[in-house]
Homo-oligomer: A and B are copies of this chain.
Amino acid sequence: MDINTLSFNENGLLPAIVQDEQTGEVLMLAYMNKEAIERTLETGEAWFYSRSRQQLWHKGATSGNRQLVKRISLDCDNDTLLLQVEPIGPACHTGEQSCFFQTIQEEQPSVNSVVGEVVREIKERRDN
């Protein structure tokens, strides 16, 4: 990969989505600078740039919950990365497997689908 084709933001960072390669679960979003990308490519493990600590961050260096990188993809406008990984442990500092554990909206089954379910149930009881 030519790192110069990447479109970094005004802070020299790119968002990187991390997905469990096996389950497809989206685990976290973190940011990478050039050096984080280089270290990730060299080591095969996920490195990011911590915006709060303002330093390079080897994911799992302290917790042991490293992420082995299986595939890196780039989006159509070259400003977002997708890392497909084998996680050694939970991605989230809370201990949750994924950082996206707060569901804020979930589609309710529609009235039609509920009615359909009741009708199926009635037919099934009648026929058996």
Q: Measuring CB to CB, which residues of chain A are less than 8 angstroms from any residue of chain B?
A: 1, 15, 17, 19, 23-26, 28-29, 41, 44, 69-77, 80, 82, 92-94, 96, 99-107
Contacts and interface: CB of A to CB of B under 8 A. Distances in A.
Could you say how many copies of this chain the assembly holds?
Answer: 2
Given A15-B15, A74-B100, A76-B96, 14 more contacts: A1-B105, A17-B29, A28-B75, A44-B107, A70-B107, A71-B103, A72-B105, A73-B103, A74-B102, A74-B104, A76-B94, A76-B101, A76-B102, A77-B99
Contacts of A77: 99
Contacts of A80: 29, 99-100
A3 to B, nearest CB: 10
B103 A72 contact: yes
Contacts of A99: 75-77, 80
